[in-house]
A and B are shown apart, each in its own frame.
Chain A
Amino acid sequence: MGNRITVPAALCALLFLMVAMPHVGLLGQYGVTFLCTMGIYIILSASLNLVNGYMGEFSCGHAGFMAVGAYTSSVAGVFLFVPDQVFGQPWLPMALTPFAFPIILAAGFIAAALAGLVVAVPSFKTRGDYLAVITLAASYIIKSAIENVEAVGGPRGFAGMGKIVQGMDSMAPIPWMLVWIFLGVTFTIWILRRFVYSTYGKGVMAIHQDEVAAEIMSVNTNKMKLIAFMLSSGLAGLAGGLYAYLISFVNPASFTILRSTECLVMVYLGGMGSLSGSVLSAIVFAILLEFLKPLEQLKWVAIPLLLILLMQFRPEGIMGNRELSDVFPKLKRFYRFK
């Protein structure tokens, strides 16, 4: 039964490498930031895949939930640890930051999941392209609402998270953000995989196939939709929180339609309803973005062009709706991932 420990062992090894490599100078600041961005893309694409891939709805407002998570985490962190003009003196000493950080992220997760209700509740009755517009409107509403709250800087943005990251750095000299993002990615993949392979996941896939038939077969479709939307938007909020601390600054302009489009592209590039596909496509997308950086504006011509070409040759995305273990069945011998 050696395959049982493969995945935990690999994850631990990866984590060890991530902590150790910057120390011996193998991974510079540039590499760390690149890996962090990639991790955030993985969370975004995997979480959107739950709604767009497995449930077959077309949500195009993922950036809005990301914004909710980012702002909630930022405000929670600054409120607890950093002296601020609006939020007053810190409540807790800086020494507690590494322990409180998961709670800060969880706050972002919960807030974004609650914001997901804005979409989840109308989805009981509204379907298809009408639901797509609801998600779009929700993301506009969220962005516009944030722009109107003066306490978090309105359209100018909100800063101060850098001090918390510095505080964590002063506790122990490891690449904290990389570690947190790694843990976030692991958590996302784990929870999505558990969810998709549970009876809930089967219910969600049944909704994709045929909603009315699923309801007749005693799937509680409203409950499934509620959970799927909230989980998906909550994970987007987690990604948003990590993103906010990674670049130490959030402003509403970073959560536009273009960011939602990025998420959509990753989901459909990887394949609808394939978790490993969306991880893979997020990695490919992050690498593409990084490699084409010298092109500047032309980057945004080259990437869509590449993706359109890819779709012409493989209209079902990289993986279709299969997983890595379906493409390479022999892999199952080596690992077991529950």
Chain B
Amino acid sequence: MLETVIQQALNALQLGSYYSLIALGYCLVYGVLLLINFAHGDIFMVGAYIAFFAATYIMGQHALIPPNSPIMVKLVFAGFFALIVTAAVSFAIKKKPQAPGRKNYSYPAILGGIFITVTAAIYYWGQGMKLETGADKILVFAVTMPLTMILTSVVGVFIERVAYKPLRLKGANRLYVVITALMMGIILEYGNLSLLGTSRLSYPTLLPRVVFDVAGAKISITKLTAIAASFLMFALLQWIVTRTKLGMAMRAVSYDKFAVPLMGIPLDAVIVFTFFLGSSMAGMAGMLYAMNFPVLDPFMGALVGWKAFVAAVVGGIGDIRGAFVGGFLLAFLEVIVAAVFSSELRDLISFTILLGILTWKPTGLFGKPKTTKI
């Protein structure tokens, strides 16, 4: 009995870690821009696909150049690849001229991008794809994770630049931006479907199949990674938002978007950074999800994304703790309902409870009611 309870709790923790990672992204963007970024669930899906292609590419299954080509070709190719990545990153970050005396965040990102891609490329293309040992695969994991996060955040920031920013500058009603986000999500889903077809890709195993025993319940290392990653990201995010200058700028934008540029805070840079953070977490969630449920399909982001959004709102959207707790709350509800009643009733009962929570606390668990002037 105890075993089952612990096992279900671990399952719920694992499910909750995806929900909360995605919910954190929703919550960040909402907190700063008051925009429900409905494309976020699909950015999660894109993240899973990017993780797939990054991992298989590094492992040489989708190699664009044959493994036995001369080292110069590999180097040139690696450099070219790194150039694309860093150009995208720098476009995303350094668009507007910075105020004098302000730290430029683009250079660390560019350097990091070059470092990651060149290391990965040289190491594996130089090695000739000998990936027999587990340690090698762990290295693939270690390289794929930041790569996925960077590439996914490039997608997220690109969407912000192309679709949301022009509308924001025109002063369109907030809901039109929300609709644009919804449609961006549909474009991502169906674009993926028509690009890759309905073939369901399966994610390679990267981490060793080690299973720990917790009081009779079993937990694999991939699950543990997902749970640990979500807690780490939450701590990191909490630190960024409450302790750093950038976080202070984010809170300032959320407080008053019009006064912030007057104080010399680069509004656009803050917004881009927000999208960068949110999308990179979606990418991370996508990769972890793909590692645990290794079948990818273009619509995997829709349901998980909508549920994460509900979780973020129930927690009190705009509050990081709320999103984190909301994600785990939804996961625990779902797992409990599935275990006690049946899995068909899962949505019905868990959403009814969430609806009850929102009726009882109209601004979510952690949200504060806004005072409005008339």
Contact = CB atoms under 8 A, between A and B. Distances in A.
Interface of A: 52, 58, 118, 121-122, 125-127, 129-130, 132-134, 136-138, 140-141, 143-145, 147-148, 210, 212-213, 216, 257-258, 261, 264-265, 268, 272, 296-301, 304-305, 307-308, 311-312, 315-317
Contact of A265 (B183, B184, B344): B183
Interface in B283-317: 302, 306, 309-310, 313-314, 317
Interface of B: 30, 36, 163, 166-167, 170-173, 175-176, 178-180, 182-184, 186-187, 189-191, 193-194, 302, 306, 309-310, 313-314, 317, 344-348, 351-352, 354-355, 358-359, 362-364, 367, 372, 374
A272 B183 contact: no
B183 A308 contact: yes
Nearest to A119: B355
Contacts of B187: 300-301, 304-305, 308
A133 B179 contact: no
A52 B173 CA distance: 12
29 contacts: A122-B358, A125-B359, A126-B362, A129-B36, A130-B358, A130-B362, A130-B363, A133-B314, A134-B359, A136-B310, A141-B351, A141-B355, A143-B347, A212-B372, A212-B374, A257-B306, A261-B182, A264-B182, A265-B183, A297-B190, A297-B194, A298-B194, A300-B190, A304-B184, A308-B180, A311-B167, A311-B176, A315-B170, A315-B171
B238 to A, nearest CB: 22
Nearest to B353: A137
A210 B372 CA distance: 10
Nearest to B181: A308
4 closest residue pairs by CB, A with B: A315-B172, A304-B183, A300-B190, A144-B347
Contacts of B186: 258, 261, 300-301, 304
Contacts of A257: 302, 306
Contacts of A141: 347-348, 351-352, 355
Contacts, number: 132
B355 A52 contact: no
A127 B358 CA distance: 10
Contacts of B345: 144, 148
A145 B351 CA distance: 11
A147 B189 contact: no
Given A301-B190, A304-B187, A312-B167, A268 B176 contact: yes
Given A261-B186, A315-B167, A213 B351 contact: no
A118 B348 CA distance: 14
B184 to A, nearest CB: 7
Contact of B351 (A126, A137, A305, A316): A137
A212 B193 CA distance: 46
B176 A315 contact: yes
A22 to B, nearest CB: 34
Given A141-B347, A317-B176, 11 more contacts: A118-B355, A134-B359, A136-B306, A141-B352, A143-B347, A216-B374, A257-B306, A301-B187, A308-B187, A315-B167, A316-B176
Contacts of B367: 130
A52 B358 contact: no
Nearest to B167: A315
Contacts of B364: 130
A127 B172 contact: no
A206 to B, nearest CB: 12
A213 B183 CA distance: 34
A147 B354 CA distance: 19
A173 B180 CA distance: 45
B313 A129 contact: yes
Contacts of B352: 137, 141
Contacts of A121: 359
A121 B358 CA distance: 12
A307 B186 CA distance: 12
Nearest to B363: A130
Which of A121, A299, A305, A315 has the most chain B CB atoms inside 10 A of its CB? A315
Nearest to B311: A133
Contacts of A122: 355, 358-359, 362
A107 B372 CA distance: 41
A133 B313 contact: yes
A304 B194 CA distance: 15
B180 A129 contact: no
B189 A312 contact: no
Contacts of A213: 374
Contact of B347 (A58, A140, A265): A140
Nearest to A256: B302
Contacts of B191: 301
